[in-house]
């Protein structure tokens, strides 16, 4: 995953860009969780990466998730929480798709 893709989606070092995919995700996630964006969710994870410009070192790549990476750890924890599978629209799948 390229840092530029994250910025293009609206996750920037100065915050989430209005009218972007990022703002739409944030709005949807806030509505579905009762008004706030949960820590560790797709929006907060992508915003952290966009602010720091750290997507390359996280393990999310164009050919999949790198073994032994932060992304791999996230995927494993999410799969364990959801009974063995990574849910569509979850943090790992959303971040990987961008």
Longest pairwise C-alpha distance within the chain:
37
Q: What percent of the chain has pLDDT over 70?
A: 95
State the Cα–Cα distance between residues 57 and 49, nearest whole angstrom: 10
- Mean pLDDT, the chain, rounded, equals 83
Nearest to 46 by CA among 81, 64, 20: 20
**What does the pLDDT look like over 13-45, one tens digit per residue?**
899 999 998 899 899 888 888 888 888 888 888
The gap from C-alpha 95 to its chain's centroid, in whole angstroms, comes to 3
């Amino acid at each position: 995953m390229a840092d530029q893709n994250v910025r293009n989606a609206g996750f920037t070092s100065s915050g989430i860009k209005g009218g972007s995919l990022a703002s739409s995700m944030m709005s949807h996630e806030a509505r579905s969780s009762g008004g706030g964006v949960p820590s560790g969710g797709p929006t907060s994870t992508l915003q952290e990466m966009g602010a720091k410009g750290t997507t390359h070192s996280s393990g999310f790549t164009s050919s999949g998730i790198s073994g032994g990476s932060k992304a791999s750890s996230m995927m494993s924890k999410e799969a364990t929480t959801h009974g063995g599978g990574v849910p569509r629209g979850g943090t790992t799948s959303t971040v990987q798709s961008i």
